[in-house]
Structure 1
């Protein structure tokens, strides 16, 4: 499975190549191969332990598939992994013509081809096969028996995955440096723990409001609207990742328990996680999701912007406490951009061209749902 030298490698267009779910042993082999790209500050065995830990989370324990491109002529247990990736089954919403459906989709991640195998067309072949498999993979219980869309986040720019139908969408962010900020005595911003995030960011009431907003929006535009469901399982997965790193890298510290911040008066809340990278500069506190109501007056707008700014300052402080280099959040709305100018007038909106390019493959046109689609809640929580 991990041969140092493999003679007579097949061509990428060979009819003998097949994309199949990996056996448990092949999954571990694929993790060892891609560890050179993604293990970060962990050693290989700890990286495997982390991947096993994440696979047991509610978000992924029943919906993660490790895919490998192999030669059909090689025996199971002795197949050479030519390229690999993972798919994650996710809950989603789709709104069209005044109706909202609970649907299922897949996120794609961990795409890898070892350096000595690159240039032979294996990644291209893998995605030619994958796009067809994911349309119906694990969709037997769904009402449509298929997926209407799938998502991935490209770290190799916008062109490669677009040729297989994963079109790049808005991929911007804003960031602030970590900072030990003073506490304002009049500030009503409060820390959010896991149970608070569940109540304020992804409660049934919050999700019901999202469904209604998508329904109303679908009456005003012919484009279908989709969103990865921002349920509690998504946040728990991200927190399991950060807590694993904290335990392994900072065993002398208690686990991180502050999972976000909020302002009850303005009804503005966010959930975050800490990403531990290979160097201190790679440590980032990501705001995973923002929740707030659209203002109905100028006074409400100013109150919301002020609350957002206070929450951002609290995030800066939390980032400093955990040796993060910065705070970052994706695709800020105009209100969030105004809040950023209160915190740092020099903060800029960055449009990414290579890393974490949000990409979506839409097949809803085959079901009469139109040729184009709007991606709602294109925020960090949906990253995979």
Structure 2
């Protein structure tokens, strides 16, 4: 199912090509094929073990589909995999016309086109097929019987996926170098703290109310991937697997974020291990704070953010990370960064991790445009 003679392969427009969920063995074969791109510092066996480990996680268990583009004339488990990707069904919120709905969507990841087969149109065919399949895939329990949006994060720029409806959205970040620091007054957050301070009913209810209020003021629909505990713990499962395999002599990373209680400012993070120390990055997944209502409150919030960022720098240093990175920083966060490192600048990503959203809500009477709320790293897949 891995190898094939190029001369026997159908063209990308062939009616014999189909995009189907992979069998168990085809899923492993696709993981082997993409391992050169994404296994990082793991060996192949460990990379497969990581993917199998993540498949059992609450976020992805019964919600992940591995898709393969194959020739319908070949038998299952003997089919040549021409291209592959994954989709993740996720909980989301949709605000429109003065109401907020709980809906489901899909995130697309692990899009892989085999180098030896490139130029035959397989990636294009796969994305054409996927774009329509995901509208109704596993959406039987949805009110509309379909999703109204899907997301992906492009590592090949903004143009390719836009052809199939995944329009690029703001994709900026700032970073701070890792460095050891003194106590900043920020409290370390462990997993149970993150669940309490960033995922409580109060926090989720506030998000619901904010989206509701915004939908009453503007006719443009708003969507958000639900920032629930399962999303955060999925990212942690990745980092913990790497830490266990790469640093078996160390205890697992248990500090999952930081907060300043008096200011009501919290964030959670995860560690991404690359092939070199420079590629080791501590990503802030999500910020939670109250919008300040006065200049004094604003200054308090900015100071708290700066304290948390310094604690993140220290945590990155402890784990041999090169940088702390955070996506789409708000004006408040930018001011906090200026207190920590005035030389740090916003980077607008053009070629990697470009947040992209395919909106089909117009056909459902939801309007032509859409706003993506909480476009933060936790939603990456």
Per-residue deviation at 1:4?
5.7
Per-residue deviation at 1:223?
0.4
The yes-or-no answer on 1:180 pairing with 2:180 is yes
Per-residue deviation at 1:6?
4.4
- For residues 261 and 93 of structure 1, the distance between their equivalents in structure 2, rounded to whole angstroms, comes to 26
1:167 is aligned to 167
- For residues 375 and 134 of structure 1, the distance between their equivalents in structure 2, rounded to whole angstroms, comes to 19
1:315 is aligned to 312
SS class of match (1:235): helix
- For residues 89 and 346 of structure 1, the distance between their equivalents in structure 2, rounded to whole angstroms, comes to 40
- For residues 182 and 233 of structure 1, the distance between their equivalents in structure 2, rounded to whole angstroms, comes to 32
- For residues 108 and 341 of structure 1, the distance between their equivalents in structure 2, rounded to whole angstroms, comes to 35
Per-residue deviation at 1:313?
0.1
- For residues 212 and 119 of structure 1, the distance between their equivalents in structure 2, rounded to whole angstroms, comes to 48
- CA deviations over 1:254-306 (Å, ceiling 9, x no partner): 00000000000000000000000111111000000000000000000000000
SS class of match (2:298): helix
Aligned match of 2:278 in 268, 278, 281?
281
1:253 is aligned to 250
Per-residue deviation at 1:5?
3.6
Per-residue deviation at 1:87?
0.2
Per-residue deviation at 1:143?
1.4
- For residues 79 and 226 of structure 2, the distance between their equivalents in structure 1, rounded to whole angstroms, comes to 37
Q: List runs of 5+ in structure 2 lacking aligned partners.
A: none
2:115 is aligned to 115
2:220 is aligned to 223
2:138 is aligned to 138
- For residues 249 and 145 of structure 1, the distance between their equivalents in structure 2, rounded to whole angstroms, comes to 44
Please report the RMSD computed on the Cα atoms of aligned residues, expressed in angstroms.
0.7
1:300 is aligned to 297
Per-residue deviation at 1:215?
0.3
The yes-or-no answer on 1:266 pairing with 2:263 is yes
1:8 is aligned to 8
Per-residue deviation at 1:327?
0.1
Give the TM-score normalised by the residue count of structure 1: 0.98
- For residues 151 and 51 of structure 2, the distance between their equivalents in structure 1, rounded to whole angstroms, comes to 20
With over 3 angstroms needed to count, the CA separation of the structure-2 counterparts of 1:36 and 1:310, relative to structure 1, is: same
2:211 is aligned to 214
SS class of match (1:127): helix
1:24 is aligned to 24
Query: Which shows bigger deviation, 1-10 or 276-285?
Result: 1-10
Give the 5 Å matches for 1:194-213. Answer: 194-213=191-210
SS class of match (1:370): coil
- For residues 4 and 130 of structure 1, the distance between their equivalents in structure 2, rounded to whole angstroms, comes to 23
Aligned match of 2:335 in 334, 338, 361?
338
Whether the 8 Å contact between 2:136 and 2:147 is mirrored in structure 1 is: yes
Per-residue deviation at 1:355?
0.4
- CA deviations over 1:15-51 (Å, ceiling 9, x no partner): 1000000000000000000001000000111100000
1:53 is aligned to 53
Per-residue deviation at 1:7?
3.5
Aligned match of 2:322 in 310, 322, 325?
325
- CA deviations over 1:233-273 (Å, ceiling 9, x no partner): 00010000000000000000000000000000000000000
The list of structure 1 runs, each at least 4 consecutive aligned residues, that deviate by more than 4 angstroms after superposition, is: none
